[in-house]
Structure 1
Amino acid sequence: MTSPQSGPETCAETSAEADDAAGVLRRVFGYGSFREGQREIIEHVVAGGDALVLMPTGGGKSLCYQIPALVREGVGVVISPLIALMQDQVDALTALGVRAGFLNSTQEADERRRVEAAFLAGELDLLYLAPERLRAPGTPDLLDRGAIALFAIDEAHCVAQWGHDFRPDYLALSTLHERWPAVPRVALTATATEATHAEIASRLGLEEARHFVASFDRPNIRYRIAPKKEPRRQLLKLLRTEHPGDAGIVYCLSRTSVEKTAAFLTENGIEALPYHAGLDARTRAAHQARFLREDGLVMVATIAFGMGIDKPDVRFVAHLDLPKSVEGYYQETGRAGRDGLPSTAWLVYGLQDVVQQRRMIETSEGDDAHRRRLGSHLDAMLALCETVECRRVRLLAYFGQRGATACGNCDTCLSPPETWDGTIAAQKLLSAVLRLRRERHQSFGAGHVIDILLGRETEKVVQHGHASLTVFGVGTELNESEWRGVVRQLLAQGLLAVKGDYGSLVLTDDSAEVLARRRQVPLRREPERPARAEPAARSAGSRRAAPADLPEEAVPFFERLRAWRAASAREQGIPAYMIFHDATLRQIAAERPSSLAELGEVSGVGENKLAKYGEQILEQLTA
């Protein structure tokens, strides 16, 4: 768990502190044991040490600062960019009996004064602040007047070069240790390569802190990447056959695509909501609240949605467009299956995605170094898409975890793609691009070049006299779809490039190696069989099947508990998962405790929830 660069212990942990942490875990959160790595981090922070924590989404990062805040004297101050979710975060803690509050720009003055007074009076355990609020006049003085147990910097990747454009105020957090040198700091993120890890440490002054690096593996997520054909219909098939009635997130690159996809799903019987920056703040907040509070909704969104979403039962994350980086892809797919149950990360991408992303990089603001960084991020994403190896192995290697064995659960493991020697095909395509440029001083997009290779006398081919080129009709051994795959993979391998507003294909420095027959070009052929056996199609309006791991006799109790939970959540105006996660309800349904004492032994049932809901649950089990 601890990285090789970990610094020395700041002070020894005591057994009493460890017992306190374990007691809080059981009493407040209802868990009998820590997850892998949590205890070591918590004991270190409780003892006053600084920490940098890299742990995947769903790995239990929040407990790594919440429990120390409850054990140490004072208030845990959490710096979080998630203004829109702070109320839900505070509500979730309040439901556990934790005294929590927040300060951000959404509050009225009276509410801010009430929270400030509670902080000064020592009546809070945790205080959430937006980074902008920390820099606001008066906030540092307020913190000086109270007792601070620790500073937790959540979503710490926002300080890195690829993240701080989103939240530049994170860069000011390096001053925390200067003003409050005796207060321990813990920075946490689920998304960091080795380079990003080093940058976070440098920008936050945590080089000497102890670094904890958990495995980035999310074994419950099945990664699948497929060629894009009719993406909305491909998505509809996925939802109808594999995730009927499930909650999920669909990511699209543009606002227009978000709107059209949400409308398409709704028209086809799947309740879906759009979310993007072009919607007014009230609509965005209402859609987010519905997604968190209702079962089975699909959120169709740009990447403006999702950071900090703590909904545990998101069963799928789908991408209809190519993500810009592996970091972004990992973070977005990580929103699936936070409860540890089987979930799907599904992506379709095609040639146009590559062309569009390359063009966006070419026209992006910033210097050449910035564009090179963007290009390297895209190259890594394309390598993940085009790999013939285990996707999970490649994903983990990107984040510095090398030596993993094939997972047996991703699409390339379940249906290994074939490779073929595409050298001759590559030479034909590169020759067509070269001759258009050399003989006609012209450049065209992929569609026109493929028409030439296939010998199609289209209007454009005839108009430009391209039927007379020596490469006209030399590529009939492949069909159009296969040629588009060749173009896509040559772009991914850096053997082709895209220039201009129209996505014209041009050669690269490496193209000459292929044309001169000094370099072979292995290409991937998509398997024709499905990556997994499809379950029988069910109607779009049907509910999800009961969890397969439940004994048959427990299923009615599980459904009864879910119905009770939904009604209780509506009555209180909170998300259902704040009452109990599905995993807890499943255990209750399977074990059917007959007393409060037995119910209190179920994972996820802490003292506060036992007192509030215990009798109601026992009634559901005996009704």
Structure 2
Amino acid sequence: MELMTSRTDPLFDREGARNPLSVLKQVYGYPAFRGKQADVVAQVVAGGDAVVLFPTGAGKSLCFQVPALCRDGVGLVVSPLIALMRDQVEALKQLGVRAAALNSSLGRDEFVDLRRSLDRGELDFLYVTPERIVTPAFREMIGNTKIALIAIDEAHCVSQWGHDFRPEYRDLGRLAQEYPGVPRMALTATADPHTREDIIARLGLEDATVFTTSFDRPNIAYEIVERDQPRQQLLSFLSRHEGESGIVYCLSRAKVEETSEWLNTQGIRSLPYHAGMERELRDAHQDAFLKEESLCLVATVAFGMGIDKPNVRYVAHLDLPGSVEAYYQETGRAGRDGLPSEVWMAYGMVDVIQRGRMIDGGNAGDDIKRVERAKLNALLAICETAGCRRQAILAHFGETHPGNCGNCDTCLKPVETWDGTEAAIKALAAVYRTGERFGTGHLIDVLTGNENERTIRFGHVDMPVFGAGRDLPTRTWQSVYRQLLAAGLVRVDHEAFGALKLEPEARAVFRHERQVLFRKDRPTKGKAAKNAGARAANARNALEGADMELFEALRATRMEIAKALSVPPYVVFPDTTLIAFATERPTSRDALLGISGVGQAKLERYGDDFLAVIRSHQR
């Protein structure tokens, strides 16, 4: 089925303009807009510009897709990744919407067909890369084609302060002059206040209406642990997600390969993904992840931007990301369908040092490096917080949360704190007495009285601070230094090979003018992790008995259809729709159409197949 463009089309209301709610129901099968979607759609349908700051899973795509279908012309969507374009175009086609992508993967014949469709007015959407849309050749190709709107997806890429800055996004501000009168939209799932301002300025959207909603993802359970036997810790986490899809992030390509290979030896089907792989193999691994129901993809951050797979049930980090924004976006790839999902991370001081070296060794200017260090410290503070993780994450985005979310490790088992003022003074004194020339490993050797070649050679065994911290174990001193760093009392000097330096705020601690509270160490395999996993698992297994049996039969049918069409299963129907089929058991086409996620095109294509399965499982 293709959407008609005749004025007799039932999607048009009496005034001759398409009705957004009718489009939503007939095309997408959703009964109503969520949150502020309706406000965004109304703004753009009326010809206004918009900046949309919604979290992953809040339905940003509908905010530009529905207005484009309501307005005359083709909707131009600027997207940074070919794989993302391909997935979204295929999903639109399954809805009966005429969509295409213009990028470097097109062959000559495909390009000719695309241009012919554009000239004939046979496209509702054209996805295009940021490099392509600003070229004279693209402007010539568009010619006099009427443009419904221009949507700039993943708009945080335009900002030099953003964690995924892409230079090719810089020229997109020109679109206002090249396409006057065409409503423009900037959309992103992650941006701190500084980045938001930069997006608006660089894209010339000062007069646009800004739409923002809560960045809270209540269906995601957060857990962050101190690294201790990381592979076993990861295996324990993954054991809670048998048969489910998920992502494990590593910092280096080598670690990706090693971790993926090891997981396969542990009986967990896994594939690696990183930028150093040949493109064909990398694309094949991504396709496998999208199309299989229970695959673990081990990846660098090269994977994931805009990935639409809704049933990613977990995301794990074996290394610390570079910022809160990166952590939020990467963990946000879990649970896009709103069903319970878990995110887990293991970290240590070595992460902070390694990340800091990457910042200082980069080509960015001093101002940008200063911001990147501050963002890294903000993430470390979230790792070390004794309070609610969700509250700390949302505070970074300028949002107030009361805490006690009940769905993170520190809320499920509150972290105890202790008065660490004296310990802080000892730790800071070790930094000062040794000349601010050494990293945490050596400083802890000094504090714990470890006589070795280095402490002897540098004369540190003769200092009063030597052995002053024997009352605390090495692991606690590691935590003390991480928390001092998170509190801004010390900093890492990467030009001095990771040496710790005192910050001015440390003086107040030395003078006993500032109390320092530290979070207590928690056993590596504590009850919090088990409680969090049990909570998520119980919610996922809400289907029981006959309903679960029907759900599995529906999943099998979905997989058969997806394989025949060579599309990801969720493009046919997401899990949320199958769950509704299994619990509500519609037995007619009209009843099927009443299920959220069933539009007219999918009813015609798949309705009878799923009805047959439901009827065969009548109670």
Q: TM-score, normalised by structure 2?
A: 0.93
Q: Is the 8 A contact 2:340 2:540 kept in 1?
A: no
Q: Distance in 1 between matches of 2:122 and 2:430?
A: 73
Q: SS of 1:34's equivalent?
A: coil
Equivalent position of 1:578 in the other structure: 571
Deviates more, 1:606-615 or 1:162-171: 162-171
Q: Deviations over 1:481-529 (max 9, x none)?
A: 1111111111222222223464223333333332333332221113444
Q: Which amino acid aligns with 2:600?
A: E
Q: Distance in 1 between matches of 2:497 and 2:384?
A: 24
Q: Which amino acid aligns with 1:455?
A: G
Unpaired runs of at least 5, structure 2: 1-11
Q: SS of 2:445's equivalent?
A: helix
Q: 1:348 aligns with which of 346, 349, 353?
A: 346
Q: Distance in 2 between matches of 1:100 and 1:153?
A: 16
How do residues 497-508 of structure 1 correspond to structure 2 at under 5 angstroms?
497-499=491-493, 500=495, 502-508=497-503
Cα offset, 1:343, TM superposition: 0.7
Cα offset, 1:143, TM superposition: 2.0
How do residues 259-274 of structure 1 correspond to structure 2 at under 5 angstroms?
259-274=257-272
Decide whether aligned partners of structure 1 residues 164 and 271 sit closer, same or farther in structure 2, where only a CA change above 3 A counts.
closer
Equivalent position of 1:618 in the other structure: 611
Q: 2:297 aligns with which of 267, 292, 299?
A: 299
Q: Distance in 2 between matches of 1:204 and 1:509?
A: 39
Q: Is the 8 A contact 1:546 1:555 kept in 2?
A: no
Q: 2:528 aligns with which of 524, 531, 549?
A: 531
How do residues 368-387 of structure 1 correspond to structure 2 at under 5 angstroms?
368-387=366-385
Q: SS of 2:315's equivalent?
A: strand
Residue 198 of structure 2 corresponds to residue 203 of structure 1 = no
Q: Distance in 2 between matches of 1:407 and 1:83?
A: 37
How do residues 205-284 of structure 1 correspond to structure 2 at under 5 angstroms?
205-240=204-239, 242-284=240-282
Q: Distance in 1 between matches of 2:514 and 2:403?
A: 29
Q: Distance in 1 between matches of 2:431 and 2:270?
A: 43
Cα offset, 1:326, TM superposition: 0.9
Cα offset, 1:593, TM superposition: 1.4
Equivalent position of 1:79 in the other structure: 78
Equivalent position of 1:522 in the other structure: 517
Over aligned residues, Cα RMSD in angstroms? 2.1
Decide whether aligned partners of structure 1 residues 532 and 233 sit closer, same or farther in structure 2, where only a CA change above 3 A counts.
closer
How do residues 351-500 of structure 1 correspond to structure 2 at under 5 angstroms?
351-437=349-435, 443-499=437-493, 500=495
Equivalent position of 2:508 in the other structure: 513
Q: Distance in 2 between matches of 1:61 and 1:18?
A: 22
Q: Is the 8 A contact 2:68 2:149 kept in 1?
A: yes
Cα offset, 1:473, TM superposition: 1.6
Deviates more, 1:456-465 or 1:315-324: 456-465
Unpaired runs of at least 5, structure 1: 1-12, 538-543
Q: SS of 2:217's equivalent?
A: coil
Cα offset, 1:53, TM superposition: 0.7
Decide whether aligned partners of structure 1 residues 17 and 200 sit closer, same or farther in structure 2, where only a CA change above 3 A counts.
farther
Q: Distance in 2 between matches of 1:394 and 1:131?
A: 34
Q: Distance in 1 between matches of 2:44 and 2:413?
A: 45
Equivalent position of 1:109 in the other structure: 108
Equivalent position of 1:588 in the other structure: 581
Q: SS of 1:262's equivalent?
A: helix
Cα offset, 1:475, TM superposition: 1.0
Cα offset, 1:532, TM superposition: 4.3
Equivalent position of 1:7 in the other structure: none
Q: Distance in 1 between matches of 2:290 and 2:36?
A: 28
Q: Which amino acid aligns with 1:468?
A: D
Residue 573 of structure 2 corresponds to residue 553 of structure 1 = no
Residue 567 of structure 2 corresponds to residue 567 of structure 1 = no
Q: Which amino acid aligns with 1:258?
A: V
Q: SS of 2:344's equivalent?
A: strand
Q: Distance in 1 between matches of 2:520 and 2:288?
A: 42
Q: Is the 8 A contact 2:388 2:411 kept in 1?
A: yes
Decide whether aligned partners of structure 1 residues 436 and 140 sit closer, same or farther in structure 2, where only a CA change above 3 A counts.
same
Q: Deviations over 1:408-446 (max 9, x none)?
A: 211121111111111111211222222222xxxx83321
Q: Is the 8 A contact 1:354 1:491 kept in 2?
A: no
Q: Is the 8 A contact 2:29 2:595 kept in 1?
A: yes
Q: Is the 8 A contact 2:163 2:325 kept in 1?
A: no
Q: Which amino acid aligns with 2:41?
A: I
Q: Distance in 2 between matches of 1:15 and 1:167?
A: 44
Cα offset, 1:366, TM superposition: 3.1
Cα offset, 1:17, TM superposition: 7.8
Q: Which amino acid aligns with 1:522?
A: L
Decide whether aligned partners of structure 1 residues 432 and 545 sit closer, same or farther in structure 2, where only a CA change above 3 A counts.
closer
Q: Distance in 1 between matches of 2:533 and 2:515?
A: 43
Deviates more, 1:509-518 or 1:82-91: 509-518
Q: Distance in 1 between matches of 2:135 and 2:204?
A: 22
Q: Is the 8 A contact 1:291 1:298 kept in 2?
A: yes
Decide whether aligned partners of structure 1 residues 448 and 164 sit closer, same or farther in structure 2, where only a CA change above 3 A counts.
closer
Q: Distance in 2 between matches of 1:366 and 1:622?
A: 62
Q: SS of 1:448's equivalent?
A: helix
- Give the number of aligned pairs: 600
Q: Distance in 2 between matches of 1:603 and 1:367?
A: 49
Deviates more, 1:256-265 or 1:546-555: 546-555
Q: Is the 8 A contact 2:161 2:371 kept in 1?
A: no
Deviates more, 1:514-523 or 1:225-234: 514-523
Decide whether aligned partners of structure 1 residues 86 and 361 sit closer, same or farther in structure 2, where only a CA change above 3 A counts.
closer
Q: Distance in 2 between matches of 1:138 and 1:502?
A: 50
Decide whether aligned partners of structure 1 residues 405 and 473 sit closer, same or farther in structure 2, where only a CA change above 3 A counts.
closer
Q: Is the 8 A contact 2:339 2:540 kept in 1?
A: no
Q: Is the 8 A contact 1:153 1:187 kept in 2?
A: yes
Q: Which amino acid aligns with 2:308?
A: D
Q: Distance in 2 between matches of 1:78 and 1:460?
A: 59
Q: Distance in 2 between matches of 1:334 and 1:513?
A: 39
Q: Distance in 1 between matches of 2:226 and 2:496?
A: 24
Q: SS of 1:520's equivalent?
A: coil
Decide whether aligned partners of structure 1 residues 327 and 532 sit closer, same or farther in structure 2, where only a CA change above 3 A counts.
same
Equivalent position of 2:4 in the other structure: none
Decide whether aligned partners of structure 1 residues 17 and 152 sit closer, same or farther in structure 2, where only a CA change above 3 A counts.
farther
Q: Distance in 1 between matches of 2:15 and 2:529?
A: 50
Decide whether aligned partners of structure 1 residues 515 and 361 sit closer, same or farther in structure 2, where only a CA change above 3 A counts.
farther
Q: Distance in 2 between matches of 1:507 and 1:546?
A: 47
Decide whether aligned partners of structure 1 residues 38 and 14 sit closer, same or farther in structure 2, where only a CA change above 3 A counts.
farther
Q: Which amino acid aligns with 1:109?
A: R
Q: Is the 8 A contact 2:413 2:527 kept in 1?
A: yes
Q: Deviations over 1:343-382 (max 9, x none)?
A: 1121111111122223333333333222211111112112
Residue 38 of structure 2 corresponds to residue 42 of structure 1 = no
Q: Is the 8 A contact 1:17 1:46 kept in 2?
A: no
